[in-house]
Amino acid sequence: MPRESFENIIASLKAKKYAPIYFLEGEEPYYIDQIADYIENNVLDESEKEFNQTIMYGKDTDLISLISAAKRFPMMAERQVIIVREAQEIKNLTETINVKIKSKSAKKETEISPLEEYALKPLSTTILVICYKYKSLDKRTGLAKSMDKNAVIFNSEKIKDYKLAEWIAKFTNDQKIKINPKAVQMLADHLGNDLSRIVNELNKLAINKKNDVEITPDDVQQFIGISKDFNIFELQNAISAKDILKANKIIDYFGKNAKEHPFEMNIAVLYTYFSKLLFYQTLPNKNASDVMSQMRVNFNQIKELEQAGKNYSLDKLVKIIGYLHEYDMRSKGIDGFQSDKSELMREMLFKILH
267 close to 328: Cβ distance less than 8 angstroms: yes
Residues written for the chain: 354
- The answer to whether 161 touches 149, Cβ cutoff 8 Å, is no
Q: Report all structural domains of the chain as residue ranges with CATH numbers, in order of start.
A: 6-155 (3.40.50.300), 161-224 (1.10.8.60), 232-353 (1.20.272.10)
Rg of the chain over CA atoms, in angstroms? 26
What is the pairing mode between strands 97-102 and 107-112? Answer: antiparallel
85 exposure class (CB count in 10 Å sphere: 0-12, 13-18, 19+): buried
Q: What is the sign, positive or negative, of the torsion defined by CA atoms of 99, 103, 107, 110?
A: negative
| Nearest C-alpha neighbor of 84 from the set 7, 151, 176, 177 | 151
Rounded to a whole number, what is the distance in angstroms from the first to the last CA of the chain? 60
pLDDT, residue 201, reads 93
Q: Are 54 and 69 a contacting pair, CB within 8 Å? A: yes
Q: Is the dihedral of CA 143, 148, 151, 154 positive or negative?
A: positive
Per-10-residue mean pLDDT for the chain, 354 residues long? 85 96 95 97 95 95 92 95 94 60 52 85 96 90 88 93 86 91 84 89 87 85 83 87 92 84 86 90 84 77 85 93 91 70 90 93
Catalogue the E-assigned strands of 48-204: 53-57, 80-85, 97-102, 107-112, 126-133, 151-155
In order of 28, 272, 308, 350, 353, the CA distances from 241 in angstroms are 35, 17, 6, 14, 10
Strands (DSSP E) contained in the chain are: 21-26, 53-57, 80-85, 97-102, 107-112, 126-133, 151-155
Which helix (H) or strand (E) segment is 223 a member of? none
The CA angle 112-116-118, to the nearest 5 degrees, is 120
- 203: phi then psi, degrees, rounded to nearest 5: -65, -40
Sign of CA dihedral 230, 232, 234, 235: positive
Ordered DSSP codes for 95-126: --EEEEEE-SS-EEEEEE-HHHHHHHS--TTE
The CA distance from 318 to 323, in Å, is 9
Do the Cβ atoms of 152 and 38 come closer than 8 Å? Answer: no
> What does the pLDDT read at residue 124?
94
CA 266 to chain centre: 21
- d(Cα 97, Cα 347) in Å, to the nearest integer? 63
Q: Counting runs of H as helices and runs of E as strands, what totals does the chain give?
A: 17, 7
- Give Dmax (Cα) for the chain: 85
165 with 202: CB under 8 angstroms?
no
